Structure 1
Amino acid sequence: MTVWDRPEPQTRPTPLDRKQLVAAAIALADEGGLEAVSLRKVAARLDVGPMRLYGYISTKEELFDLMVDEVYAEILPGEQPGDWRKALHTLAHRTRRAALRHEWLADLLGGRPALGPNALAVTEATLASFDGVADVETVTRAVETVSAYFTGAIRREIANLRAERATGLSDRDWQRASGPHVMRMLATGRFPALARFVHDGTEVDAEVSFATGLDWVLDAVAAKLARPA
């Protein structure tokens, strides 16, 4: 039985519900990442005893499930996208923006499907946009492919942001600091292809890179869907 299938305990002298638990846990995670979330810390923020929480959730993993579903409410589009490409484009960009607001989300993306009501509503909106476009197996592969792209891209971007904070170096600062080593390695002549990319490549910000990669993946999916079965 999932956490959504279990009723909440009856109201006690101090009002409490899962929504309050989730809000407290998200605040902790936004401040310090998932490692900052524990039932003890959530209880302290709500000014209740830790054992009180076990009437609402059984494990920290259930709390994470509830947190993820709360963020899916931010990802859910306000209206049904007009077609599958718009739906996947919207899903990718709204997921990225949610992850930038809640960096811990990147650590929980890409596992088993989320089963909360908001996550299911997002999935429903996405799949409904493919109505009449292709068979179930083809749609499944299309959604998986695009999801794999934006999940990986989001995780990479968040990892980079965390590295900046951990080292105190921006991307440009890090490049300056590591530049002499890279130049020495390229001067050996062992990495000609890499040298060309280093010398001729241009810097692109994270948002542009994400959007460009997404468009390429969507173009590939569109080409696949256009082919006769």
Structure 2
Amino acid sequence: MTVWDRPEPPTRPVPLDRKRIVAAAIALADEGGLEAVSLRKVAARLDAGPMRLYGYISTKQELFDLMVDEVHAEILPGRQGGDWRQVLRVRAHRTRQAARRHEWLADLLGGRPSLGPNALAVTEATLAALDGLADLDTVMRAVETLSAYVTGAIRIEIANLRAERATGLSKREWQRAFGPHLSAMLATGRFPALARAVHEGREVDAETSFATGLDWVLDAVAARLTRPPS
């Protein structure tokens, strides 16, 4: 029986329910990452004994599953509007925004699909936007491709944010610190393509980079959806 199907135990002097437990766990993760989350720490935040939590959640993985599903409620748009591109674009941007608010989400995206009600609603909205535009296999590959891009881009962005905090160097400061080494390596002539990218490439912020890559992925999906059957 999954954590969503398991009934909750009766209320006791300190009232508990899964929603309060998950909210406390998310607050801990927002403050200190997933390593700051344990059933003992969640119980302490709720002023309850750790063993009481086992009546609601059996393992830390179940707690993580519930946390991910709670954040999916932030990803699901209130009203579905626009064509399929707009629906998928909104989902992608809302996923990125949720990960910016809850950086730990980047560590739990990907892998096996989340089966909580909010995550299933996000998946339903995504599939419904593409329903009837192509055969089911093409639709499924399109969704997988979009999810892979969004997950990868988010993980890179969050990794950069964490690196800035860990080193105490902003992106500009890091570039200045390592600039002499890179310049010396490029001066050897061994990396001409990289040298051109460094000297002539236009630098953009994370949001612009994400939006541009997303549009390219949606263009590729559109080409597959409109391709006549072979």
Q: Same fold (TM over 0.5)?
A: yes
Give the residue type in structure 1 aligned to 2:113: P
- Structure 2 distance, partners of 1:111, 1:87, is 23
- Structure 1 distance, partners of 2:69, 2:94, is 14
Match of 2:217 in 1: 217
**Residues 88, 126 of structure 1: 8 Å contact kept:** yes
Runs of 5+ consecutive residues of structure 2 not aligned to the other structure: none
RMSD: 0.7
Measured after TM superposition, the shift of residue 152 of structure 1 is 0.2
Q: 1:25-67, CA deviations, whole angstroms, 9 ceiling, x for partnerless residues?
A: 0000000000000011000000011001000000000000000
**Partner SS, residue 23 of structure 1:** helix
Match of 1:146 in 2: 146
The TM-score, its normalising length taken from structure 2, stands at 0.98
**Residues 69, 116 of structure 2: 8 Å contact kept:** yes
- Structure 1 distance, partners of 2:28, 2:87, is 31
**Partner SS, residue 165 of structure 2:** helix
2:75 pairs with 1:75: yes
Match of 1:202 in 2: 202
Matches within 5 A, 1:8-87: 8-87=8-87
- Structure 1 distance, partners of 2:51, 2:161, is 36
Aligned residues: 229
Give the residue type in structure 2 aligned to 1:43: A
**Partner SS, residue 115 of structure 1:** coil
Match of 1:169 in 2: 169
Give the residue type in structure 2 aligned to 1:27: A
Match of 1:98 in 2: 98
Q: 1:44-95, CA deviations, whole angstroms, 9 ceiling, x for partnerless residues?
A: 0000110010000000000000000000000001112332211210111000
**Residues 65, 116 of structure 2: 8 Å contact kept:** yes
Measured after TM superposition, the shift of residue 163 of structure 1 is 0.2
Measured after TM superposition, the shift of residue 121 of structure 1 is 0.7
Runs of 5+ consecutive residues of structure 1 not aligned to the other structure: none
2:139 pairs with 1:130: no
**Residues 138, 224 of structure 2: 8 Å contact kept:** no
Give the residue type in structure 1 aligned to 2:73: A
2:169 pairs with 1:193: no
Measured after TM superposition, the shift of residue 224 of structure 1 is 1.2
The TM-score, its normalising length taken from structure 1, stands at 0.98
Of all paired residues, the percent bearing the same amino acid is 83
**Residues 3, 57 of structure 2: 8 Å contact kept:** yes
2:179 pairs with 1:179: yes
**Residues 69, 116 of structure 1: 8 Å contact kept:** yes
**Partner SS, residue 130 of structure 2:** coil
**Partner SS, residue 129 of structure 1:** helix
- Structure 2 distance, partners of 1:188, 1:64, is 49
